[in-house]
A and B are shown apart, each in its own frame.
Chain A
């Protein structure tokens, strides 16, 4: 189902998938317009502007207005894609996204580009690590974090056809392709990229490729790790998560985002309510980033396959412990029942 994600895998940037996807969608749907808050080249909308000059709207560096204009265009029947960097939209215009877009239920698609630590050298001001948190808490909002450029292309086309507000999280760096043209994509339906029975790694964005590398390594230690690409964080695929918890008994989540309120939290919310199992989380631990290469930042902030492997081992240890405790309790209960039976006989 999947290709090896290690060295030698093809690499592409999420933003390129977005640029391709919106053109494909726009060719078959004349309602689609693109709004750009200056960063047209960075967000790969130059080709859209060339092919659809009348459907490209320059908004300037004004993200509040970006969200509002998009909402108004949706009210008049358009399907607007509003693009900026994630730190600015939804980072800087959250109230406009909340009221003008989500409360209004308008058919607006937000593209938050250059998300995560891997934007790199620009430093902490430009590294969106909170955007999943602030979008997934909004009623009516769908939140999609594709794993690679192919999946981003499919997600963009799917978002165009999906009624209602959607947040698409993009990125700048080129990362390994982990899905193929034939991998299915359906909003709200998680993709299991690798089967496994001992533990499940749930990842999103570029951490999916790290998760696949981690699973390879764990296999060498005879640990069978399932890998789920949770591209849609809201609505969350509870069915896939509960099945994973039930069948493997331990979970690791991995994301390029704050652990607080991110994808891992969404997974924990679902499993704590329906099927609690030990969960370990890989992500940014309540800190801002800094300047550096994408690779150096992923190393320093603990977003590598090695970090996922370490988390998997912690989760497996807790799973064993929980199993042992459950066993002890079961034995204890058997003893108590036996004592009670003996007492009744006397």
Chain B
């Protein structure tokens, strides 16, 4: 697949996310929009997953630790074919499959329950260790956020994964510099994040989280590791694709209104046409 195809998929995901949030009238906007490019590459190019067989033994395990960005996860799983896309509009509603934060079990393709931050990191390490004990070649990918590194459990998991040489584990951090209360460096200082992970014994790769080529390269490099877990720090723009939402922490935990959603969709559709023109020119 060409890079531009991923840009189109990511644009579709962003439109799905906006529609889901407007319909749900609650949920998180900035994180899901910022991670659309990474989800597009991970599910449509890189990881071995089979939507017809979500529990396939040979699959790569993809976990999401910062469960609040689940609109992008659900949209990706639906577009990949894990469940019908019409279910996306039931997000956060009563009797819905698609809970406000992910619930492992009922939702095809969801590998962990998440929301309380940093819990996915430990679970991903557990999956990776179990695979290694059984000498299975599957890889484990876990999406996480920068803000969740305020949690002590994140660093417990970081120690553990390096100590147990979980080379089959790759984390992808959404380094978007925002959390609910404001910019991450004003809520709780995290830097130097890359140095911290290196000091913990990890293989660290820093990329632009919207550059399809860089995402693909980083994932490939991570897969070559056998002894060290990899942390891919992906610098992203929160709210990416909608100027009104971009780089503003206030969009961390609220949904667009109907009017804001309509404006956002218009902007995303214009972007889609531009991508198409670039592609065919």
Contact = CB atoms under 8 A, between A and B. Distances in A.
Contacts of A103: 103, 113
A69 B56 CA distance: 21
A68 B131 contact: no
Interface size bracket, A side: 20 to 34
B2 to A, nearest CB: 34
Interface size bracket, B side: 20 to 34
Given A62-B159, A72-B125, A77 B130 contact: yes
Q: Is the interface of B mostly helix, strand, loop or mixed?
A: helix
Contacts of B126: 68-76, 80
A64 B127 contact: no
B122 interface: yes
A88 to B, nearest CB: 13
A138 B156 CA distance: 24
A100 B131 contact: no
Given A64-B152, A72-B127, A54 B133 contact: yes
A66 B206 CA distance: 29
A56 to B, nearest CB: 10
B137 interface: no
A78 interface: yes
Interface string A171-190: 00000000000000000000
A71 B111 CA distance: 11
Contacts of A72: 112, 122-130
Nearest to B106: A105
B133 A68 contact: no
Given A72-B123, A104-B113, 14 more contacts: A62-B160, A64-B153, A67-B122, A69-B123, A69-B125, A69-B160, A71-B112, A72-B126, A72-B129, A73-B129, A75-B112, A78-B133, A96-B116, A99-B113
Interface of B: 61, 103-105, 111-116, 118-119, 121-131, 133-134, 152-153, 156-157, 159-160, 163-164
Interface of A: 33, 54-55, 57, 59-60, 62, 64-65, 67-78, 80, 95-96, 99-100, 103-105
